Amino acid sequence: MRNITVTEFRRNFSRFQHEARRQPIEVTSYGRTVGYFVSEAEFHHYQDLLRREREVLAVGQLPTDALTAITAATYPDGRDDLDGLMDDEGAG
């Protein structure tokens, strides 16, 4: 990701407009990030990710690969204490 100043962005907007199609551009002012300039496709992808983040799915709606991954998932070593959460008594 390229990092440029607000002044540079303002002076060369058309150049960065084309460059943003290839990679996001971080825009800074006095060393602090003030925003990012991204392509339309990247922005739509970001919007889609935000929408999915808030989406609630029932188990029956999950894709097969997601169900397979969930079923195959294991606890990290040393977290046997979490097993109790799966018991009927620990669920409430």
Tell me 12's DSSP state.
T
pTM > 0.85: no
Domain ranges of the chain: 2-74
Query: To the nearest whole number, what is the mean pLDDT of the chain?
Result: 87
Instruction: Kindly indicate whether the domain formed by 2-74 is annotated with CATH number 3.30.565.10.
Output: no
Which of the two residues, 89 and 74, has the higher pLDDT score?
74
Rg of the chain, C-alpha, whole Å: 22
Alpha helices by DSSP H, listed for 1-92, are 6-11, 13-19, 40-53, 64-72
- How far is Cα 42 from Cα 60, in angstroms, rounded to an integer? 30
Model pLDDT for residues 46-87, shown as the tens digit of each residue: 999 998 888 777 778 888 998 899 889 887 777 777 777 776
